[in-house]
A = this chain, B = another copy of it.
Amino acid sequence: MLVTVDLASALPLFEQLVAGIRAQIIAGELRAGERLPAARELAASLELNVHTVLRAYQVLRDEGFIDLRRGRGAVVAHRAGDYAQLGREIDRVVVEARKLGLTPNALTALIRKAFE
């Protein structure tokens, strides 16, 4: 599993981990039942604190993307739904936003408002 982290980014480290792993699950690069590296292991390879990785794992669990159990580790959950259509919709909204010269922040803020 390939996940990278940017210390200079404005996004919190645990959010970067969440985003990276979540994107891979949605893209099908990580399949249901597949096991993620142990938190201590991933933390060591990324030179992060265990707590940071664990927090990311807990967010992914809360969102339903993985299952966590002591002794067994983190496993990609079985999740219903086809993400292909979502990907196409996302591409379209990004194209439209770019056309209007919106910043990523502006677009995501608008979407967050529409989500309420």
Contact = CB atoms under 8 A, between A and B. Distances in A.
Interface of A: 15, 18-19, 22-23, 26, 63-64, 81, 83, 85-86, 89-94, 96-115
Given A89-B93, A89-B96, A93-B86, A112 B106 contact: no
B26 A101 contact: no
A112 B103 contact: no
Contacts of A26: 110
B106 A86 contact: no
Given A15-B109, A81-B101, A86-B102, 13 more contacts: A19-B110, A23-B113, A63-B103, A85-B96, A86-B110, A89-B93, A93-B111, A94-B114, A97-B115, A104-B112, A107-B115, A108-B108, A108-B112
Contact of A111 (B83, B85, B108): B108
Contact of A64 (B81, B98, B101): B101
A93 B96 CA distance: 12
B86 A96 contact: yes
